[in-house]
Structure 1
Amino acid sequence: MFTDRTFLITGGGSGIGRATALALGAAGARVVVAGRTPEKLNKTVALLGEQAVESLAVPTDVRDPAAVDALVAAAVTRFGAVHGLVNNAAGNFVTPGIDLSPNGWKAVVDIVLNGSFYCTRAVARQLREQGTGGSILSVIATYAWHGHPGTVHSAAAKAGVLAMTRTLAVELAPLGIRLNCIAPGPTETEGAGAALWADDAARAQVLSTVPAGRFADPAEVADASLFLLGDRASYLTGACLTLDGGQWLGKQVYGR
């Protein structure tokens, strides 16, 4: 399905990023994982190696445009070309907006919005140079359009990523470059758990908002991501696939 194609995945050292890397590798792709923690990236590469997948770990701070350019250059040097990108790097924590510090706001917006743009721009330029076309997927959340108390920084940043995706989908379509988003709901990952539900009571409260009655598994988010990245979605661009067990549709105002 993805044989002889190379994909970059930011935030590839854990959670959804790692699951997507493993799924792409199993489907025949070469995988380049980026993130700020080399040990986590190396673990992903080791897991890919167990599947005999060609892979590369490139420690990268997506907030730094020069580092992002170096990431793409490293991928091209190793594998000759790139064919797609998954913008998965993120930062989040829960706090009332009125108490959010300027540094807290900037940290999340820099990673989620600015980082996604820097990576998208760098990969799009490489795809234009190659003349191959390609696919770019950004991982967001449903509160990008409905908002959510306590996450104004992340909601605003992910809303920006959604707008970026739709805008660039039009601009880059003539180059054969598709851009889409996926919006997972609560997902069983170490990072999300630490940031969004700090204890069992908070976890139960979050779970009570999901009509499907369970959290997402990173592997099923990865499976949906592969559809959006692959040729079966070749006429799909500027879209956002929601994968949240009905959570945002089931937002409750009245009644039990």
Structure 2
Amino acid sequence: QKGEKTNFSGFFYLSVFQPWAKCAASRQQCTTSCILLTSSKSDVATKYLPRESGLYNWWRYWAWQRDDNSFVQFRCQVCYSKQVHAIQCDVRDPASVKNAVAETIQVAGHPDVVINNAAGNFISPSERLSANAWKTITDIVLNGTAFVTLEVGKELIKAQKGAAFLAITTIYAESGSGFVLPSASAKAGVEAMSKSLAAEWGRYGMRFNVIQPGPIKTKGAFSRLDPTGAFEKKMIERIPCGRLGTVEEIANLAAYFCSDYASWVNGAVIRMDGGEFVSMAGEFNDLKRVTKEQWDMMEAMIRKTKGS
């Protein structure tokens, strides 16, 4: 679908990659009966897994990080008409995680899919970070993911049952990034953990994969990462696809990773960012701002150059 031309910083960009908010998986394709999803904000219940996404068809059980579980449960059942069991759980606390996993197994059985989506983040110069700031983010992102993954995995091994594990990280887990040091470090640890367990626990029928999203505009994330709204335009300018991503797109990719169609995908880290990572990485990528007239002038100058 062709989009409209948009003028960014003096050059025209034709965005042809419009978001497609439709389900990539039908009910008949979904055999999963129990999903365990961790998260940190109640609005994810209606935004991360919208009615059009593939995961909507599988939605059943939920382990929550910190929230009013009765409200979450009611909201999910109204939006999805699915059986939902919401559990209050602080993923930073191993005892809380152990209790939440035990309750999930008691109510729903062992999960077929585990999605580690609980996260925390904020922007700050690294020299302003306190020990508590570092600990707050790494406890949620790295320790929380490890506690949930290891607790569920041990129970699955005892039951001799496999499952698909999916972690949501970010593109700067690979590159690193200033001003989000705790998050970058913790997300990189999550990716290393996923790849390590893919190698070790594949023999038990468990798969571990990772999605690295680029910028996805949600109220919770952008209120901490772009509180003034000043950086959104610059984000879009550096993305070759010409826009931010959507939660529906992430949900559809997640649905594939967790489905039987991806049964041979294990230890993968898939970047989904509209080309942002490679756009920022290339030394000469800013030449896209050069006009046709400027190229004509530079070509003529280059042709006149002799020798080395």
Query: Normalising to structure 1: TM-score of the pair?
Result: 0.92
1:16 & 1:221 partners in 2: Cα distance? Answer: 14
1:235 partner letter: W
- Report the alpha carbon displacement of residue 17 of structure 1 after superposing the two structures with TM: 8.5
Q: Deviations over 1:118-155 (max 9, x none)?
A: 00001111211222200110000010110111011100
Q: Determine if contact 1:166/1:238 at 8 Å carries over to the other structure.
A: yes
- Report the alpha carbon displacement of residue 47 of structure 1 after superposing the two structures with TM: 3.3
Closer, same or farther in 2 for the Cα pair 1:232/1:138, shift >3 Å?
same
Q: Determine if contact 2:32/2:113 at 8 Å carries over to the other structure.
A: no
2:57 matched to 1:27? yes
Q: Determine if contact 1:34/1:60 at 8 Å carries over to the other structure.
A: yes
Gaps of 5+ in 1: none
Q: Determine if contact 1:8/1:34 at 8 Å carries over to the other structure.
A: no
**In the alignment, which of 80, 87, 95 is matched to residue 109 of structure 2?**
80
- Structure number with bigger Rg: 2
- Report the alpha carbon displacement of residue 162 of structure 1 after superposing the two structures with TM: 0.4
In structure 2, the residue corresponding to 1:181 is in which secondary structure?
strand
Closer, same or farther in 2 for the Cα pair 1:47/1:113, shift >3 Å?
same
- Report the alpha carbon displacement of residue 216 of structure 1 after superposing the two structures with TM: 1.1
2:73 & 2:181 partners in 1: Cα distance? Answer: 31
- Report the alpha carbon displacement of residue 2 of structure 1 after superposing the two structures with TM: 3.5
2:36 matched to 1:8? yes
1:77 & 1:240 partners in 2: Cα distance? Answer: 32
2:62 partner letter: V
Closer, same or farther in 2 for the Cα pair 1:17/1:232, shift >3 Å?
farther
- Report the alpha carbon displacement of residue 106 of structure 1 after superposing the two structures with TM: 0.7
Closer, same or farther in 2 for the Cα pair 1:225/1:44, shift >3 Å?
farther
Q: Determine if contact 1:14/1:44 at 8 Å carries over to the other structure.
A: no
**In the alignment, which of 128, 131, 135 is matched to residue 157 of structure 2?**
128
2:282 matched to 1:239? no
**In the alignment, which of 180, 183, 206 is matched to residue 212 of structure 2?**
183
Closer, same or farther in 2 for the Cα pair 1:16/1:217, shift >3 Å?
farther
Counterpart in 2 of 1:225?
254
Closer, same or farther in 2 for the Cα pair 1:17/1:36, shift >3 Å?
farther
In structure 1, the residue corresponding to 2:231 is in which secondary structure?
helix
Name which of structure 1's ranges 125-134 and 89-98 shifts more when overlaid on structure 2.
Answer: 125-134
2:225 matched to 1:204? no
Name which of structure 1's ranges 157-166 and 79-88 shifts more when overlaid on structure 2.
Answer: 79-88
**In the alignment, which of 175, 184, 200 is matched to residue 155 of structure 1?**
184
Q: Determine if contact 1:179/1:237 at 8 Å carries over to the other structure.
A: yes
Residues paired across the two proteins, number: 255
Q: Deviations over 1:65-105 (max 9, x none)?
A: 11111111111111122212111010101111122111111
Measured on the aligned residues, the alpha-carbon RMSD in Å equals 2.1
Q: Percent identity?
A: 32
2:79 & 2:180 partners in 1: Cα distance? Answer: 38
Q: Deviations over 1:163-194 (max 9, x none)?
A: 00000111100000000100111112111111
Counterpart in 2 of 1:142?
171
Q: Determine if contact 1:17/1:88 at 8 Å carries over to the other structure.
A: no
1:216 partner letter: G
Q: Determine if contact 1:187/1:216 at 8 Å carries over to the other structure.
A: yes
Gaps of 5+ in 2: 1-28, 290-308
**In the alignment, which of 132, 140, 154 is matched to residue 103 of structure 1?**
132
Closer, same or farther in 2 for the Cα pair 1:137/1:122, shift >3 Å?
same
